[in-house]
Structure 1
Amino acid sequence: MGNSNKCSEEDDLNAPAWINEDFFKRILEKSECDNVQIHNLLLSSGTAKNDHYASILFRAKLKYTLHAQPTQEKYRAFVMKTEPFVDGVKKDKMNEVPLFETEVGVYTKVLPKIEAKLREFGDQTILAPKLFHYSLQAPRCIVFEDLVVEGYTTINNRHCSLEEVKMALTKLAKMHAISYQMIHRDNNHDLANFNKTFVNTIDLADFPVLGNGIKLIKDVISDQSDLQKFLPHIESVERFLIPKVIDLLNATKNGNQSGVQVLNHGDFHVKNLMVKNDGNKLKDLMVLDYQVSIFGSPAIDLHYAFTMMYSPSMRRERMDELLYYYIINLQETLRKVEFHGHIPTIQEIRAEMQAYRHWGLYLIFTLLYFNYALVDESIEMDKLVESETARRAYYANPKILDELRILLPRFLHLGYFEE
């Protein structure tokens, strides 16, 4: 990388040789519209522990000058996402899903249109970090602005606050609303091409973390005398749950879509957020990682947020409140941009949630413990993803069992176990 460059020694993985001065020089010259001389390049890990699994992230800090201003040193920072390059489960399985193609498509074909529509009506909401560069040729990569420079931080070792969840739901509602308008008013068919996420693409038999959730929860609650009464209900749903879930995720592709169709983020959880605070006040929140965005019912994101973004207390006490908050923001956005078609009602969105109840149940069985693990600095995420023994041990966490004592009766009463 040259004598003028430094590479952080804190990285567990060495950066590939192609991530070098020449690579960033091309990006800077495209952005600056001038010849660039790089004086210093510092590479470091782009994430804290447990922040990301599907891709490898690096942070690049650069000092450089322009040909037109040779004495004026400039500074730029990027975050770079690359496909897994070390042989193993992560590389094999993540490459089965078009993660980079999906994210680039969302960034280049959808988000600019959504933000442009919001701007027409005075809404300055920014839905994602700025994209500077991408390559869909191996090795695939995407380069974004580094939000840390702008004062954003990740949410580490804690669940989101209620204020943060509401701001995240506001941005989600705006993205859903404008994508809903794009289909109904502009007849935009590009959105329907976003139809692949992990669950409906990977062979779940070869990826137990996504395929063995029912088996895992049965093993865990069979040791709990007060939860054993739910085993017959779980066993009854076991025979059809995953096929039902795949059908729901493939509904648009198969022509069985519901009345409300939007672009879903697809992976709406705490580690895909960054926040910017002014003292103790939340100033902004940015949503990251559109790699598994999928077109379909908004219930896809809403059930996912319930499992993966809400705190345990929010799941217990604020489920209806937060769903209502999302719906009101969806409706207000559609009215603000003067959409004259049918605006989904509260009852219609709640009907979507019920229609996708098996997706919600699947997420609880499969991902609930990740909601706890993502904020637990003692957990090695790779090990949890790849080891059934580690998953079983963590699922038996007393806090998770206590939450299941609340959730399982609720789902039974809501009909989640019925086919």
Structure 2
Amino acid sequence: MTNENTKFINSLFLKNLLENQFGQKDVKIKTYTAEQPSENGNVYTRAAISRIFVKFSSATKSEEVLSFVMKIKPTKGELSDEFKVSGDFMKEVQVYRNVLPAISTTLKKIGEKIEFTPNVISTFNIPTDGIVFEEVTNRGYHIQFEKTGLNFEQSVLALQKLACFHAASAMLMENTSLDLDRFSKGTFHNDWKNKLEYFTEAYRLVIDNANGLGIDNTIQQKLKEFSTRSIPKVIEDYTSAIKGFKVLNHGDFYTRNIFFKYKGNELVDVLFVDFQNAVIGTPLIDLFYFLTSSVAVSVLATSRDELVYAYHEALSTLLESLGYQGYIPSLNDIQVEFLKRSSMEMYFGLTLAPYLRSFEPRIVTAVQPSLYKDEYLQQLKKNGKEVLIQNKDFIIGQLKRFDVIGTLDCASNDGRIGGIKSRFSGKV
């Protein structure tokens, strides 16, 4: 059924859509329904979503049924007010309307056709802005809702496809006249400094529950010391580049925004959705986000370096094939940058990943600070401890690794991490 934000979806709207975008002729709508996806399947977040089922006749068929998904910028309610002061929804529209077609053109020049997202049937701006997607499950794509995280094979394929998107976007930015200013700000930016209370509270929640989580006293003290400088440091890391190399990041790259396709038992493809937090910057934004939020803890423990290698190999191969003239980061560059920017990874791992990995209780994270609401912060304070305990093994494992590589010392002593970096770079 329709609601205040989707009541314009009627027989006339659907008739025009089917005739103009699906190539049907003489359409007569018989019945239709507009349903909200279930919470577990609702990956098209921060908008009004409807899965449309329509039964109709046309010039060639007496009866046919189609289904598709519509993502709509709200016109009523609290989200409507928020979007008036935020450009996040239009970020996504621009990705589908301009960026992805331009990337496809770039790839065609070397004979490549890479599908990154579900097919977009149309975008519209009357009576509000919206996007019409294919119902991608009809082609066998599904979200993997394993509570344990993605396995090695799934993680490798997701990172390889991400690397191709990053490479194509870097090439596009080098040669395009597209206005990409909309993508200049992501989650951590100086303009959002007064909107990052969620992160300081989420970080404090770890410290307050450190004993219950089994965090030893030495690490607890280092976490407390780092808290005084955490936001400026993470903003610095988030807005950095690898020797000038930047890409268009997805910005919210984790399990619920990734569709996998199998043929029998063989994993064959992966697609992405939800680009509302897309941002130009270091590729570590997506890499850290994905590694901390989506990969199985056991895979992280045994195969983290292999995942980074798979990403880099795909990135450098495609950049070279495209004839990219800018600086192409070496694997060594990325390894050094992982150490240099590990404060951001740790911050993602403590303030975002536990809540992205958990199903119940569900806590909304402040990935889009401009749209964050106070009630979500109350939700964090009420249920956050439970989620942290659910993810105790992940948190402890990550903190031990960060202590070893010197991340926890960087607030007061850059020397140790600089020494570790020198193992890769030959410089201190």
Partner of 1:368: 353
Partner of 1:73: 63
Shift of 1:327: 0.2
Q: Say if 1:173 and 1:330, in contact at 8 Å, map to a contact too.
A: yes
Q: For the structure 1 residues 36 and 137, does the alpha-carbon distance in structure 2 shift closer, same or farther, using more than 3 Å as the test?
A: closer
Q: Where in structure 1 do 4 or more consecutive aligned residues deviate above 6 Å? A: none
Question: Pick from 394, 398, 401: which aligns with 1:407?
Answer: 398
**Is residue 160 from structure 1 mapped to residue 150 from structure 2 by the alignment?**
yes
Shift of 1:160: 1.9
Partner of 2:54: 62
**Is residue 379 from structure 1 mapped to residue 379 from structure 2 by the alignment?**
no
Q: Say if 1:98 and 1:196, in contact at 8 Å, map to a contact too.
A: no
**Is residue 182 from structure 1 mapped to residue 172 from structure 2 by the alignment?**
yes
Partner of 1:288: 273
Shift of 1:115: 2.2
Question: Pick from 133, 140, 147: which aligns with 1:151?
Answer: 140
The answer for unaligned runs of 5 or more in structure 1 is 1-6
The CA distance in 2 between the partners of 1:42 and 1:34, in whole Å, is 21
The answer for unaligned runs of 5 or more in structure 2 is 365-374, 412-428
Q: How many residues align?
A: 397
Question: Pick from 34, 38, 41: which aligns with 2:32?
Answer: 41
Q: For the structure 1 residues 329 and 192, does the alpha-carbon distance in structure 2 shift closer, same or farther, using more than 3 Å as the test?
A: farther
Q: For the structure 1 residues 290 and 154, does the alpha-carbon distance in structure 2 shift closer, same or farther, using more than 3 Å as the test?
A: same
* TM-score, with structure 2 as normaliser: 0.82
Partner of 1:241: 230
Comparing 99-108 with 354-363, which one deviates more in the overlay? 354-363
Q: Say if 1:115 and 1:127, in contact at 8 Å, map to a contact too.
A: no
Partner of 1:393: 385
Could you tell me which amino acid in structure 1 is paired with residue 144 of structure 2?
A: I
Could you tell me which amino acid in structure 1 is paired with residue 253 of structure 2?
A: F
Q: For the structure 1 residues 16 and 202, does the alpha-carbon distance in structure 2 shift closer, same or farther, using more than 3 Å as the test?
A: farther
**1:207-356 paired onto structure 2 within 5 Å:** 208-224=197-213, 226-251=215-240, 258-339=243-324, 341-356=326-341
The CA distance in 2 between the partners of 1:175 and 1:206, in whole Å, is 29
Shift of 1:340: 5.0
Could you tell me which amino acid in structure 2 is paired with residue 156 of structure 1?
A: F
Question: Pick from 89, 109, 119: which aligns with 2:98?
Answer: 109
Q: Say if 2:91 and 2:182, in contact at 8 Å, map to a contact too.
A: no
Q: Say if 2:5 and 2:74, in contact at 8 Å, map to a contact too.
A: no
Partner of 2:422: none
* TM-score, with structure 1 as normaliser: 0.84
Could you tell me which amino acid in structure 1 is paired with residue 229 of structure 2?
A: F
Q: For the structure 1 residues 91 and 187, does the alpha-carbon distance in structure 2 shift closer, same or farther, using more than 3 Å as the test?
A: closer
Secondary structure of the corresponding residue to residue 212 of structure 1? helix
Q: For the structure 1 residues 257 and 326, does the alpha-carbon distance in structure 2 shift closer, same or farther, using more than 3 Å as the test?
A: closer
Q: Say if 1:97 and 1:201, in contact at 8 Å, map to a contact too.
A: no
Q: Say if 2:361 and 2:387, in contact at 8 Å, map to a contact too.
A: no
